[in-house]
Chain A
Amino acid sequence: MKARSAFGLLLLVVMLGSLAFPGGPVQAQTIKIGHEVALTGPNATWGESEARAVKMAAEKVNAQGGVLGRKLEIIAYDNRADRLEAVNVAKRLVEQDKVVAIIGPAQSGVANAIREVNNSAKVPVIATTATNPKVTVNDDGAVVPYTFRVCFIDPFQGTVAAQFAYRDLKAKTAAILYDVGDEYSQWLGKYFTDAFQKDGGKITTSEAFRSGELDFRAQLGKIKQSNPDVLYIPTMQKEAALSAKQARDLGIKATFMGGDGWGSPDLFDLAGRAIEGSYFVNITALEDPAIQGFIKDYRAKYNEDPVLPNPVLAYDAVLWLVDAMKRAGTTDGEKLKGAMEQTKDLQVLTGKLTIDPKTHNPLNKPAVIQETKGGKFLYVKTFVTSD
């Protein structure tokens, strides 16, 4: 008995002792990057593609050794492009997962909604396709400290559309059908109006509908009466498809134009023939020579085309973050933000990224015009605005 209990005591001591000397290599902590993305819902076609691109970018960075000796870990949650859900996601990423930065969201309204969360937690957010200026700059002109974006802004986009309509399509009159419940749509309509009138065009009528609306025939009836050359529909693809279909049903002959919210492939499923021969402004296109390398990699890995422009911008956002982390030498929120503001001529997929520290927006971002033809998006040209 005595021998057994002595042995047992020895065993216990050895076991406890071994805890004080943990063997084996210490697991390096990953750098957690959050991703606010719409994986379900009407915006899911872009969101899923965006999520894949972010994973691709992270894998590439990790294969080259990671950042600051650590690997990147992407934590993506579905926000359904819903503002309420997005706030939940942001809180989860910031408080539970303790991410160092967040990529996304892709919608301006949603980016505005999570502003409080990431700014009080000092976690930088890079919105991918949120184009409304207020996302990064307040009404009083002050920059939102921890929110950035990697795409162009709507005043630019509206001007591109207006100038293309007036100068290339030779339209003299235009009407607007916009969503009053969506910041993106409201303001984009306004920017188009300003630029179109500046060129000398006339806005015949401007009609609004509420988000979630399905039937635009009352508004379209008025638009038909005013007989515009162009009908500008600055909305997402669902409303654009429905309104185009109903407009053609009513006998409206105007050319339809839109913004980057149109670029989802299901636009054709939903609109049928009605949307043929329309034009819209986008951030990039499949034929854009600058992104062919990315497209090849994406096709090889996922066996399908990326749904532009989100994946390209999300990829650029990852590259931007990685570069800023390297320059700051840390993932600390404040220093990371400072480094991000100083980004200059960083080579990303869509060209050279230089950030304006006063607005957190990229300088010199181009825009492309696409045409809807034969059930596909055709690249028309890269547009340069002129005053």
Chain B
Amino acid sequence: MFLQTIITGLSIGSIYALMAVGYSLVFSVLNFSNFAHGAIITLGAYIAWAIMVHYFQVPFLPALLLSIAGAGILAFLNERIAYSTLRRRRAPSLYLMISAMGVAIALQNLLYATIGAKLYALPSVFEQDTFDVGGASLSRMDLFAFVFSVVAIALLHFGLTYTKVGTAIRAASYDMEMVSVLGVNLDMLVAVLFLIAGGLGGMAGVFMGVKYMVYPSMGWITNKAYIGAVIGGLGSLPGAIVGGILLGLLEALVTVTTIGSVHLSTYRDVFSFGTLAILLIVRPTGLFGRLVEEKL
């Protein structure tokens, strides 16, 4: 039973971690919370639906890669349309955040208006989905998602550490002004940043769509990703991963606990958001983060 809870926690935690990394990536460089990340995740899932179910019958792996690419491009466009002007005018983070919220709501309602709010299921990827592990069941899809995410994040880490663009991104996360003074094309840097963040989001969206289902408001789960990112320390990528997984485990444990006759499962979100609030008060840098003044 405990093992099952841990497995459930890790499976949902890995999705939170994936979302939190995309989130933290943007925050580390541009210092604002990209609330439109949820919309990108949703669109990633819809792209997968469109090419796997609705228009074509593309098999899973190519569809996954196409969705990642598609979501990356959408994130890039999102940046160009909603953020770049504000960024060039050196607008405060608050404006960027409001713009992000606007994009999130607009995209969600665009989905309502065009595709409609019907629930869609992505086809099952593996025939015999679960197998037994020490008395608990582990889903093949979960395992695949976990491994794929690990590989993706490892690739990201590799890219950030050993490529020129990656180094520039890391430098920009410390001081964007300095980086542009030193001759780096900021526009291109931000574009690459959003392509990567969007790609990770698209990945998370497809995994969520396969595990559960596809519907317009699925992006709001990024509120949880935000909590994960903050727990781990906003701006820190390893922190985002750890935070996301910890949050997943915490939620799973809370859900199965019963104190007396009170099911804590109904208070699960109270725990999640309460942890966020307490953490922001007690240790605003989170577990791994650096001290940042504005935490929008």
List residues of A whose CB falls within 8 A of some B CB.
40-42, 44-45, 80, 180, 206-210, 212, 214-215, 217-219, 221-222, 225, 238, 241-242, 249-251, 266, 269-270, 272
Contact = CB atoms under 8 A, between A and B. Distances in A.
B268 A210 contact: yes
A269 B121 CA distance: 7
Interface stretch (B73-81, B110-118, B143-151): B110-118
B70 to A, nearest CB: 23
Contacts of A80: 112, 117
A242 B117 contact: no
Given A80-B117, A266-B118, A208 B263 contact: yes
B161 interface: no
Interface string B1-23: 10011001101100000000000
Contact of A238 (B4, B136, B137, B213): B213
Contact of A222 (B117, B118, B136, B256): B256
B121 A270 contact: yes
A131 B15 CA distance: 37
Contacts of A241: 213
Interface of A, secondary structure class, is helix
Contacts of A210: 265-266, 268-269
Nearest to B135: A251
B275 interface: no
A180 B112 CA distance: 26
A241 B119 CA distance: 11
Contacts of B124: 272
Given A42-B215, A218-B256, A219-B265, A249 B130 contact: yes
A45 B117 CA distance: 10
Interface centre among A219, A221, A238 (most CB of B within 10 A): A221
18 contacts: A40-B112, A40-B116, A40-B117, A42-B117, A44-B116, A80-B112, A180-B266, A206-B263, A210-B268, A214-B211, A215-B12, A217-B11, A219-B255, A221-B136, A242-B212, A250-B130, A251-B130, A266-B119
A249 B129 CA distance: 7
User: Closest 5 A-B residue pairs measured CB to CB?
Assistant: A218-B255, A214-B212, A41-B117, A217-B8, A221-B4
